[in-house]
Each structure stands twice: as C-alpha cells, then as structure tokens.
C-alpha cells in the first residue's frame, strides 16, 4: 500500500506514467467511467477548500466510485477531541482511499502511519500540497510539451505558501529549471529552500520588483497572500496587495509566457488578465481533476 505525502514520493519516471495516464483520461474519459465502481473515497478536510476537495470528489465520481467525508473539522468528531490517528482508523473501515487536508503540518503523515488505506496529503499547514504540485506539473507538461529548460517566477507569499514549497521541491529534479523568487522581505522564500538550491547548484535569484523580471519569465506562478497564516492583521493588510498582475505588467512579458496560480485568488491577478491567452490558471484547475483521477487509480492499483 502506498500513500502520497510529498511530490518526491513518486520518482520522475512514476510521475511521467501518472501524467501519461492523466492525458489518456483527458482524451478518453468514457474508458475510465466505471474504473472505480464499488470503491469509496473519503475526503477529510479540517481546513477550508474548494478546488482540492471538489476536484477529488469530481475525480472519484467520474471514475464511477462514491465519496464520503467532511468539509469542516467542526462537523467532525475532531470538535470533540478525537485524534487524527483514531479518525483514520475508523475511516479505514468505511473507505478505500482517503484525501486529508489539515492545518497542522505533518497531520496527514501521522494519519498514514495508522491507516490501512492509502492516504493522500491534500495540504498540511504551510508544509506541502503534493496534489497541487502534480496539477502544476501536468499543466506545464500539457501546455509546453515537456518539463525542462525554463525560467519560472514565483510571486507573492513564498514564506507560508505550501504550493510554492511543494512545486520547487518537485521542479529541482528536472533539467534546466531556473527560479526567480519575487516577494516582499517579510514573505521571502525559507532559507532551507535556498540552501537546497545552492547545494544542488540550481540557479535562482530573489527580487522584490515584479515588472523588472517579467521579460525573463517562461512561467509566472502567482500566489495569494494567505490571511489565515498571519498572526497579525496589520501585517496582512500591509502586504496583501503588494503584487497585482494587470494588463500593463502582462505587456512586459513574452508572448508565450504562461501565468499559473493554484487559486483561490483575491486581488493578486486583476480579472482583466483572465481574457489574456497566457492566463492558464483555470485550465490548471481542470488538469487537477485529470491528475487526481490518475492518482486514485494508481494508489488503488487499478489498471484499465
């Protein structure tokens, strides 16, 4: 039995197989419509979500399976003090696979140690968000044809942004990737990541100004400043609109540059950018369903 806690749990070869499967699902959805008949996915979400939870539920439904779960810790027995370990032991009796989001870093890992069914980390605190990373990598591969030889700018909350941390961890395994980290001083990328890049001799720069680097980018990965990770409301208010991608900034970028965003967005991408053919963030959300369908099949060892 296998879990997914971190994008690095899969080798790059296994990821290629997963993305090939996701691409086949995109081309031939009918072929997979009953692949999970009789199987049950549990979505245990202790933290709010729209995309991750509903794309998992959509994925399992499109595979012909069923879904149970909760979308809020308050409506589960966690509110009575039940531990994650006890909850997963019980969920293991009810479902065949579980996707878990939790505000505490490492909670899905703790669950996986007691689970008798595959557990997928659907986001743990500021730590990792591996299925968002699978979504991001599939989007890059589908829209550019390959995952190599590009410059990616990651912009916004690089300190608390688990999607950013997961994506960097995954991208360092591919050839010719250069990183530009664009953030205010207070939301800089953590040292453990820049230390890793130095050790691996992977080129990166840290800047505060987005306009200056726009012409150099092949991808711009925008992120939301996350109110829920701040201890102090004043800091959040000061930093929340630090970057706003608009038409004027898009005019500085290459014609084939692509804008990604894990979503939800607040103000960091102006809605006027949505009509730009380089805005790929809603397509990215669609790839999230295909890759989660492929992941469920892979972890349940179902071959079609």
- Please list the active-site residues: 51-52, 80, 101, 129
Closer residue to ligand CP in complex, CB, 11/50: 50
Distance in angstroms (rounded) separating the CA atoms of residues 43 and 68: 6
Least gap, CB of 49 to ligand CP (angstroms): 3
Least gap, CB of 132 to ligand CP (angstroms): 5
Q: Are 107 and 51 in contact (CB under 8 A)?
A: no
Closer residue to ligand CP in complex, CB, 127/204: 127
Distance in angstroms (rounded) separating the CA atoms of residues 169 and 185: 22
Tokens read off for 178: 């250069």
Backbone angles phi, psi at 226, to 5 degrees: -90, 105
Q: Are 266 and 241 in contact (CB under 8 A)?
A: no
Closer residue to ligand CP in complex, CB, 132/298: 132
Least gap, CB of 282 to ligand CP (angstroms): 12
Query: Per residue in 202-220, is it b (16+ CB within 10 Å) or e — as a string?
Result: bebeeeeebeebbeebbbb
Closer residue to ligand CP in complex, CB, 57/213: 57
Least gap, CB of 46 to ligand CP (angstroms): 12
Whose structure tokens read 């591996």? 130
Distance in angstroms (rounded) separating the CA atoms of residues 108 and 186: 28
The footprint of ligand CP (CB under 6 A) covers 49-52, 123, 132, 262-264
Distance in angstroms (rounded) separating the CA atoms of residues 219 and 66: 36
């Amino acid at each position: 039995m296998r879990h997914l806690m971190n994008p690095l749990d899969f080798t790059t070869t296994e990821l290629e197989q997963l993305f090939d499967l996701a691409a086949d699902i995109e081309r031939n959805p009918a072929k997979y419509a009953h692949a999970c008949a009789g199987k049950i996915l549990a979505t245990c979400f202790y933290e709010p979500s729209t995309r991750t939870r509903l794309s998992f539920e959509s994925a399992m439904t499109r595979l012909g399976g069923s879904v149970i779960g909760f979308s809020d810790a308050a409506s589960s027995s966690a509110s009575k003090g039940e531990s994650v370990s006890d909850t997963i032991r019980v969920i293991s009796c009810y479902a065949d696979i579980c996707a878990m989001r939790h505000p505490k870093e490492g909670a899905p890992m703790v669950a996986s140690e007691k689970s008798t069914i595959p557990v997928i980390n659907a986001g743990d605190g500021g730590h990792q968000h591996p299925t968002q990373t699978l979504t991001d990598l599939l989007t890059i591969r589908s829209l550019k044809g390959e995952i190599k030889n590009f410059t990616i700018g990651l912009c916004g909350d690089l300190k608390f942004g688990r999607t950013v941390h997961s994506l960097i961890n995954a991208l360092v395994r591919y050839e010719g990737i250069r990183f530009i980290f664009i953030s205010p001083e207070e939301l800089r990328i953590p040292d453990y990541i820049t230390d890793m890049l130095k050790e691996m001799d992977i080129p990166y720069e840290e800047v505060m100004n987005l306009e200056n680097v726009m012409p150099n980018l092949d991808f711009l990965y925008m992120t939301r400043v996350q109110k829920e990770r701040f201890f102090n409301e004043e800091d959040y208010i000061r930093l929340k609109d630090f970057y706003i991608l608009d038409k004027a900034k898009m005019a500085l970028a290459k014609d084939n540059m692509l804008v990604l965003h894990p979503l939800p967005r607040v103000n960091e991408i102006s809605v006027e950018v949505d009509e730009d053919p380089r805005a790929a963030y809603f397509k990215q959300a669609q790839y999230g369903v295909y890759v989660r369908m492929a992941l469920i099949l892979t972890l349940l060892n179902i071959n079609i």
